[in-house]
Amino acid sequence: MSGQHIFLELILMPLLAFMIGLFLVLMMRKVRARIERRVGPPFLQPLWDIIKLYVKKMQISHGVIHDLGIIMLLGGYITAEVFLPVPGMSGFTSQGDIITLIYLMMVPSLGLALGVGQCANPNGSIGISRALTAMLAYDIPFIVVIAGACLYYGTTDLTEIIALQKSQQWGLLSMPILALAGLIAIHAMLGKEPFEIYVAPAEIATGPMVEMSGKYLGSLFVMQCLQIYTITVLYTSLFLGGGYTWFDFIPKLFLVALLPVMITVIFPRYKTDDVLRWLWKWPTGLALLGLAIVVLQG
Amino acid sequence: MSVLDLDHVFFLLIVNIGIAVLWGNRPFVGKILTLLYILEGLSILTSYHVLLSGAVLSSSLTFTVMQQTVQWQLGVSGGFFALITFMAAGLATWFSSGVWARSYAPIRLLHSYMALNVAAMLLLLASNDFLGLFIAWELVSLVSFLIIAINGGRSAKAAYSYILYAFLGAMAILLALIIIWNATNSFSYVEVRHHWSTMSVNRQLIVVLLLITGFGIKMAILPFHRWQAPAYAYVPAPVAAFLGAISSRMGLFALFIVLLQVVGIDVIQTLWLPFEIINMQTFLLWLAALTLIIPTFIALRQTDARLLLAWHGIGQGGFMLLGILSANALGTAGGIMHVFNHASYQAALFFAVFSVSYRTGTADLDRLGGLVTRMPISFTVMLVGIIGLAGLPPMNGFVSKWLIYKALLDEGMPLLFLAAVIGTLGTILSVYKLIHNTFLGQLRLEHENIKEVPWSMSIPMMILASIVFITGYFPGLLLESIAAMQSTLGISVVDYHLGGVNTGKGNLNMIVVVSTMLMAIGMGALIFFVLGNPRKQVTQWDNYAGGHFLTSDMRYQYSHNFYPGLMRVISPLYRNTIFWLESAIVSTVQFMAHISYALFMQANYLLYLILLVVISLLWVLAV
Amino acid sequence: MMIWDDIFLEVDFWINIVSIALIVIGIYGIVFSQHLLRMVFGLGLLEAGVNILLVKAGYQKEAIAPIVTQASDTMMSNILAATAQMVDPVPQAMVLTAIVIAAGVQALALSLVIRIYKKYGTLDSHVLFLAMERDRHLSLNQKD
Amino acid sequence: MQDSLILLVVLPLLLAFLLPVIARYLGNLSGLTGSLLLLFNILLLANAWNSVGYSPKVILLGGFAAPLGIVFYIDKLNMLFAILTTIIALLLWPCRTHNTDVREYVLWLLLLAGCYGVILSGDLFNIYVFYELLAVASYGLVTLPATGASYIAGFRYLMISALGSAFALLGIALIYSFTGSVNIAHLAQIIPDHLHHIWGYSAALLLIIGFGVKAELFPVNFWVAEVYSHADKRVTALLAGVVSKIAVLIILRFIILLFPWQDIFNFLLLLGIIGVIVGEFAAFYAQDLLRLLAFSSIAQSGLVIIAFACATEAGIMAGIALAIHHLLLKPALFLLASHCDRSINDLAGLAKSSPWASALFVILALSLLGVPPLPGFWAKLLLLQSLMAEQYLLLLVLVLLATIVEAAYLFRLFMLFYQRQEMPEQKRITIQGQELYPVITLSGILLLGLFFLPLFMDSLREIAMQTSNIEAYINTVLGKVQHIGEGNI
């Protein structure tokens, strides 16, 4: 891997991720609107939202850590993008495996938590408390799914996992139960109903965003794009065989993002403890079942 | 053989003790002691390449008793632990050498006990047979008792419960030693390993369980974990850092030596608990996993920062054990590496917490908040420390945990992997609470004029924080000696390079990861600072607050019961079973004591004599 | 019937009975009486019983006193023959010693009883035990 | 040469009877004669130690050969205990205290004569006689403080001791009526094989219980706590340190030579372990220092008995090591405690008022606990090894658990000593210089002895070997070729 290539990947991957993420967000908002019999936002609305927030006149900072938290949040996801395997650009993936990736995805949570904590607004802290609790809730089934997949493929290297799926069959077919559990887990990860209490977009006064204005909120929007992209790519690589080319890769991402949105609208919202109970009961149980099958298969 | 023999280090340690005991009260002595600790560390470091090649540093001290020659030799494992010990002791003494010492009256005791602890630990690390190990073990227990009890009051109580647990452990070890001696007629590691199979399987099982109990008590593995948190929390800052960093790892070192070098992990794998329900290795791994999870979630409930950290120390011990027992090159490497990593970030965290309580007079998480603007260095150190403790990249805690996760996955133990991740998640929740309640949120009015701690205290913290970062960036620095350790023990060796490990089935290159992270954070900063309008800084009390105007005298901080949603689900699981068991045992002992005493205090005591004669004559008739 | 007659007429048997009775009575006295004097008397009975048993060990039916009278008869075999007819003298010597010792111990015990009575005015062992404990307690808690 | 060892017994007796006369002329100086006597005894023993060499010797008293004559048996074990008795007696000799009653000297001398006699006698009845001498002297010594409580304690002690003696005498009577002999060497030829039935067992049990009273054997040790807490501290030190160990020595000789039957060993093991457990628990409950030490002494004696009841060479070695350790240590602890004679809770902050004494107390108590590398650890290690060699695993576990209880009360004590709490001025306690000499000497012997540990181990093994060699004992006393008739059997 030449130095040029490395540089290209470093710049290109986050950019691509941001763009695809924007479209994913757009798609999710559109689909949701259609289900609710609305028209939905125009084509570039997510981008305009971010630009609008960035160019606001008043940008209120609550201190250095407030800024630092936002930077950490962006930086964490940008790092994660670099280590994701996508068609044609997976030079970094073999340097840090899926476990690294999971932990890289926890760094932004910590960054957000730090930034919100510095704002000294107890409502923000409550939001963080909920967010971290929810992380504990959805990470457990997710980890079981990851463990099952890694055990099945016998490796934690994502490029190898993709290569194995290409030579054999998709993970979805060989581990359907795990795939289902993983889908529920990423539904919770995306913060869609019924697991949206920690984002609580409807009541901004108690949630992580309470003190986030201007480009702080804009950065959170950027983060949302990156987050959706990361999660969908991860799921695609584990169960949908990754991408041969970008042309079959991107539809897979959209498909993965679409499924939660399709069903999310019909749900009300769970309380924090109910989120925990539900996620620790059903998807975790499913995932453990899938894991047991994987183990028994040999 | 060796460039430098161990005698020099022993001599320096004696000088250390002498200086501490004689002149411990003088203001400059802390600095001299720090230098001495550094010197001792360096003297091992200069001959470290010898150790890496598999040779040992030996001492000329020796004695022979019961046909057993007891001598002291420092191998690479001992050397590794010794370096951590000197690092912890040196930085702890540095921390206490300046302004801090003026506010602490029994500073001489502190210096002397610290020196004694280091000396006893070195004896333990350099022991070469079970007899030397046991002697050093008891010495370590006693001097730890001294240093834990240093503050009197609560800490003395904790020390008392510690010493009882320690004696329980020592007796278990003694029993194991006696059984081993009976079978092999030797105490030396080599001989015991050689004749190990002369013991019956039941005996082997008993011996392994006894050794685990004995050495495990020091590192507070599960049913014996209750003593540690109060013992490590209610002591002065340098002591807490020192104890939290290395003291309980002596148990791990002994277990490491015994299980891997003497017994051998292959033996552990072939031993089965009664009725063949569970393999010994699996049993121990699950014990380690429980030791990881339960104390971590107990830590989550603490409102005292020191207790919180101390409980996490126990949990991380479970992590190390999990790695070492995984019988995998990566796992062993991770377990040993975690010792170093834990020592570095735990010491940093204790320093940060104690710096806060030095300035504010409290470590109660409900009474702090918003100190980040007042104590930025302590905050940074704590931030680095908690990222390390939580095991997130780019700090060193991540590397060792990664190795352990990977080992568990490679060995096909997904549930243990899950347990390890649950432990990590609990840690993340808990440490965020720690940093939030201390440094973030609203600043209390009475803390408005607080300053950062003086340089003599902040420099050691910063050194530790940079160690946490550097060894996370270049884990190969540590992996080199760990690989040497593995090859001396004859177990499979980890395939390492400066940036991490290659396994062929998923690699880790921390240089790439951390460099990417740094670059990504640069990119994030670029996006954030360059794009958009400039920011306006507001005061710490200026926030939305639902449109209500806050003033500084209003308490507006979310700190107590930080995770109510989680607690609603898991609080029924906190049963205090071990506490209940402990008090049941105490009551039983008191009851027995009362009965025994009453036996002696009889007005008509001669009846016993007659009773005895009658019973024994009846017995004679029966015989 | 004849056998029982023999046994009842044996001196051995009666000596045994008497000594064991003395021992039992003595032990009973020591253990079950609350009065110190009775305990001392019980001790005396016990010692007497043991002594009788001991002296009986050397007893031999229709034997002569253990004194070698004929100095002229220097043949070893004759002495041995003579000793076979004699009572064993060793237990007698031992019993003498034991009696002296027992007398000494009893005298000491009686003197202690006198002292105790002078101090406390009672010889009830239970009362005295409590008194001793009380004294101990007082001395622990009021010294200097 | 070794015949002069008779002087060990004779001289104290002689001096005891002469002392009232001497005191009339010398006054307070008369105490000095006792010290001189003990010094002379040490010289005598040191001289004899060289001449005894490897083979044991026998002294025929009155010139008659055994088994008819009375013999003193001298081997390294006996010599060792004689030497230690002399050293401790010399250290505890009450001559430094002013206006000591001359009767006290007499009693001490009688006690010592009894001790020497018991140690050296090779004859059952002689042992009984000397044991009684020792006992009578100790009754006197116990009641010396002349307080009401000491009288009652002394009386209770006297009763149980006299009862024990009567049992012992009964045992001797039984043995004599079956064997016609009281010579131990002679009996060692007869009893193990020919008396292996109910009467032999009865005699064994009666003897063990009888001598067990002084050996603090459970459950005939109920006098221990009250006597030790009411008697003069020097007397307590001597009783706890020396006399109890001498009684254990007698029991050792009995079970090795006369009753080497597994049932007897089991019986002793049982009593020993109950003693250890009950002693440690009672000490845990004890509210004052002297009682605590007394109960711990019971437990330690239990340990010695357990070791001896293993009846192997290793067990004997362990028992001797434990006995010597306790013999040197307990007097020192009792003397240190002599001025802390009060409720434990009043001792808080003792280390402030008497730092050296409390430090010494702590070190000695740690040795008692068996913390390495202090001497107590090595003794305990030997005990554990001998138990393990006999596969007494349960016993091993019980002993170790009892040690934890011991640790619990000792560390509670240490923490009280070092509590950072001021003692009220009028409650200050200091350990006075007078007690300090023996304490320092004893702990000096213990701690410096640590440097000669391998040497000690070797000589202990030698002693144990000699002790467990029954053949040698019989041959030494009876002569190699001489065969005595089988007595009255």
Is B310 in contact with B228 (CB distance < 8 Å)? Answer: yes
CB–CB contact B179 D457 (8 Å):
no
Please tell me the predicted confidence (pLDDT) of residue B35: 92
**Beta strands B535-537 and D57-61, pairing class:** unpaired
DSSP state of B497: E
Is A214 in contact with A60 (CB distance < 8 Å)? Answer: yes
Are D and B touching by the rule of 3+ CB pairs within 8 Å? Answer: yes
Using CB atoms, pick whichever of B160, B182, B600 lies closest to residue D389: B182
Instruction: Please write the tens of the pLDDT for every residue from D235-286.
Output: 999 999 899 999 999 999 999 999 998 888 999 999 999 999 999 999 999 8
In a domain, D483, yes or no: no
Using CB atoms, pick whichever of B64, B159, B593 lies closest to residue D284: B593
For the CA atoms of B214, B220, B221, B225, the dihedral, rounded to the nearest 10 degrees, stands at: 120
Please tell me the predicted confidence (pLDDT) of residue A203: 67
How many interface pairs between A and B have CB atoms less than 8 angstroms apart?
254
Please determine, for residue D484, whether its predicted confidence score (pLDDT) is greater than 50.
no
Euclidean distance between CA atoms B9 and B18, whole angstroms: 14
Euclidean distance between CA atoms D6 and B520, whole angstroms: 97
The DSSP result for B502-542, as a single string, is --SSS-EEHHHHHHHHHHHHHHHHHHHHHSSPPEEE--TT-
State which H helix or E strand residue D181 sits in: none
Is B445 in contact with A148 (CB distance < 8 Å)? Answer: no
B181 to chain D, any CB pair closer than 8 A? The answer is yes
CB–CB contact B604 C27 (8 Å):
no
Tally helices (H) and strands (E) across chain D.
Answer: 21, 2
CB–CB contact A129 B562 (8 Å):
yes
Please tell me the predicted confidence (pLDDT) of residue D487: 39
Report, in angstroms and rounded to the nearest whole number, the Rg of chain A calculated over CA atoms: 19
In a domain, B152, yes or no: no
φ, ψ of residue B260 to 5 degrees: the values are -95, -35
Q: Which residues of B touch A128 (CB under 8 A)?
A: 432, 436
Q: Do B569 and B599 fall into the same domain?
A: no
Name the residue ranges covered by the structural domains of chain C.
2-58+89-142
C30 to chain B, any CB pair closer than 8 A? The answer is yes
Our CA-based measurement puts residue D218 at a distance from the nearest CA of chain B, in whole angstroms, of: 9
In a domain, D131, yes or no: yes
CB–CB contact C129 D152 (8 Å):
yes
In a domain, B476, yes or no: yes
- List Cα–Cα distances, A193 to A38, A201, A217, A257, in angstroms: 18, 11, 21, 14
Euclidean distance between CA atoms D42 and A5, whole angstroms: 95
Q: What is the mean pLDDT of residues B431-447?
A: 89
Please determine, for residue C74, whether its predicted confidence score (pLDDT) is greater than 60.
no
CB–CB contact D160 B609 (8 Å):
yes
Q: Which residues of D215-244 are buried (b: 16+ CB within 10 A; e: fewer)?
A: bbbbbbbbbbbbbbbbbbbbbbbbbbbbbb
Range of the domain at B384: 274-530+539-574
Percent of chain B with pLDDT over 90: 50
Euclidean distance between CA atoms B498 and B510, whole angstroms: 9
- List Cα–Cα distances, C119 to B102, D103, D367, in angstroms: 61, 22, 41
Instruction: Please write the tens of the pLDDT for every residue from D203-222.
Output: 999 999 999 999 998 888 88
Q: What is the mean pLDDT of residues D18-37?
A: 81
Instruction: Please write the tens of the pLDDT for every residue from B187-212.
Output: 888 888 888 888 888 889 999 999 99
Are C and A touching by the rule of 3+ CB pairs within 8 Å? Answer: no
- List Cα–Cα distances, D2 to D37, D79, D119, D130, in angstroms: 18, 11, 15, 20
CB–CB contact C126 B604 (8 Å):
yes
How many interface pairs between B and D have CB atoms less than 8 angstroms apart?
139
Interface test with C, best of B597, B600, B610 (most C CBs within 10 A): B610
CB–CB contact B597 D281 (8 Å):
yes
Using CB atoms, pick whichever of C30, C130, C133 lies closest to residue B606: C30
Those of residues 160-189 in D touching chain B at CB distance below 8 A are 160, 163-164, 167
Q: Do B474 and B605 fall into the same domain?
A: no
ipTM: 0.90
Q: Do B547 and B604 fall into the same domain?
A: no
Euclidean distance between CA atoms B452 and B374, whole angstroms: 6
Query: At D326, is the pLDDT very low, low, confident or very high (cuts 50, 70, 90)?
Result: very high
The burial class, CB within 10 Å (0-12 / 13-18 / 19+), for D254 is buried
Please determine, for residue A156, whether its predicted confidence score (pLDDT) is greater than 70.
yes
Please tell me the predicted confidence (pLDDT) of residue B445: 83
Q: With left for phi above 0 and alpha for psi between -120 and 50, is residue D117 left, alpha or beta?
A: alpha
In a domain, D191, yes or no: yes
Is B279 in contact with B267 (CB distance < 8 Å)? Answer: no
Which residues fall within 8 angstroms of residue B3, CB to CB, at 6 or more apart?
A: B46, B47, B50
Q: Which residue of D has its CA nearest to B145?
A: D411
The two three-digit tokens of residue D96, written as one number? 């430094």
Using CB atoms, pick whichever of A104, A106, A222 lies closest to residue B428: A106
Q: Which residue of C has its CA nearest to B607?
A: C31
In a domain, B238, yes or no: no
Is D310 in contact with D292 (CB distance < 8 Å)? Answer: no
The CATH number of domain C2-58+89-142, selected from 1.10.10.10, 1.10.287.3510, 3.90.550.10, 3.40.50.720: 1.10.287.3510
List the subunits that have 3+ CB pairs under 8 angstroms with B: A, C, D
The two three-digit tokens of residue B333, written as one number? 């490497």
Q: Which residues of B touch D198 (CB under 8 A)?
A: 620-621, 623
Q: What is the mean pLDDT of residues B402-422?
A: 92
Our CA-based measurement puts residue A10 at a distance from the nearest CA of chain B, in whole angstroms, of: 8
Asked which of A105-119, D53-67, D111-125, D186-200 is least confident by mean pLDDT, the reply is: D53-67
**Start-end of H helices in B47-75:** 48-52
Structural domains of chain A, count: 1
Instruction: Please write the tens of the pLDDT for every residue from B358-388.
Output: 999 888 998 888 888 899 999 999 999 999 9
Euclidean distance between CA atoms D207 and D171, whole angstroms: 5
Q: What is the mean pLDDT of residues B241-260?
A: 90
CB–CB contact D220 B612 (8 Å):
yes
CB–CB contact B604 C125 (8 Å):
yes
In a domain, D488, yes or no: no
**Beta strands B57-65 and B68-74, pairing class:** antiparallel
CB–CB contact D152 C144 (8 Å):
no
CB–CB contact B392 A215 (8 Å):
no
Q: Which residues of A touch B428 (CB under 8 A)?
A: 106, 109-110, 132, 135
B407 to chain A, any CB pair closer than 8 A? The answer is no
Using CB atoms, pick whichever of B422, B508, B565 lies closest to residue A272: B565
Q: Which residues of B touch D224 (CB under 8 A)?
A: 600
Structural domains of chain D, count: 1
- For residue D86, the cross-strand partners are none
Q: What is the mean pLDDT of residues A257-280?
A: 88
List the one residue out of C26, C50, C54, C53 whose CA is nearest residue C38: C26
Range of the domain at D265: 2-478
Q: Do B596 and B484 fall into the same domain?
A: no
Please tell me the predicted confidence (pLDDT) of residue C144: 46
Instruction: Please write the tens of the pLDDT for every residue from B519-578.
Output: 999 999 988 888 888 888 887 777 776 666 667 677 788 888 889 889 999 988 888 888
Structural domains of chain B, count: 2
Please tell me the predicted confidence (pLDDT) of residue B369: 85
Q: Which residues of C touch B607 (CB under 8 A)?
A: 31
Please determine, for residue A295, whether its predicted confidence score (pLDDT) is greater than 80.
yes
Q: Within 10 A of A58 (CB to CB), how many other CB atoms are there?
A: 9
Q: Do B569 and B594 fall into the same domain?
A: no
In a domain, B613, yes or no: yes
The DSSP result for B301-363, as a single string, is T--BHHHHHHHHHHHHHHHHHHHHTT-SHHHHHHHHHHHHHHHHHHHHHHHHHHHHHHHHS--
Please tell me the predicted confidence (pLDDT) of residue A1: 55
CB–CB contact C133 B606 (8 Å):
no
Q: Which residue of B has its CA nearest to A91?
A: B512
The 3-state DSSP class for residue B70 equals strand
Q: Which residue of D has its CA nearest to B178?
A: D385
Our CA-based measurement puts residue C82 at a distance from the nearest CA of chain B, in whole angstroms, of: 39
Q: Which residues of A touch B442 (CB under 8 A)?
A: 120, 122
Those of residues 112-131 in D touching chain B at CB distance below 8 A are none
In a domain, B391, yes or no: yes
Euclidean distance between CA atoms D176 and C48, whole angstroms: 17
The two three-digit tokens of residue D59, written as one number? 């002294």
Q: Do B409 and B431 fall into the same domain?
A: yes
The DSSP result for A212-242, as a single string, is --HHHHHHHHHHHHHHHHHHHHHHHHHHS--
Q: Which residues of A touch B525 (CB under 8 A)?
A: 71, 75
Using CB atoms, pick whichever of B393, B521, B538 lies closest to residue A71: B521
Is D172 in contact with D125 (CB distance < 8 Å)? Answer: yes
Q: What is the average pLDDT value for chain B, to the nearest integer?
A: 89
Query: At A204, is the pLDDT very low, low, confident or very high (cuts 50, 70, 90)?
Result: low
Those of residues 586-605 in B touching chain D at CB distance below 8 A are 589-590, 592-597, 599-602, 605
Euclidean distance between CA atoms B38 and D175, whole angstroms: 74
In a domain, D378, yes or no: yes
Q: What is the average pLDDT value for chain D, to the nearest integer?
A: 86
Q: With left for phi above 0 and alpha for psi between -120 and 50, is residue A154 left, alpha or beta?
A: left
Q: Which residue of C has its CA nearest to B602?
A: C129
Our CA-based measurement puts residue B243 at a distance from the nearest CA of chain A, in whole angstroms, of: 28
List the subunits that have 3+ CB pairs under 8 angstroms with D: B, C
Please tell me the predicted confidence (pLDDT) of residue D95: 66
- List Cα–Cα distances, B13 to A121, B117, B137, B545, in angstroms: 52, 10, 17, 58
Please determine, for residue A120, whether its predicted confidence score (pLDDT) is greater than 60.
yes
Q: Which residues of C86-117 are buried (b: 16+ CB within 10 A; e: fewer)?
A: ebbebbbebbeebeebbeebbebbeebbebbe
In a domain, D486, yes or no: no
CB–CB contact B607 C125 (8 Å):
no
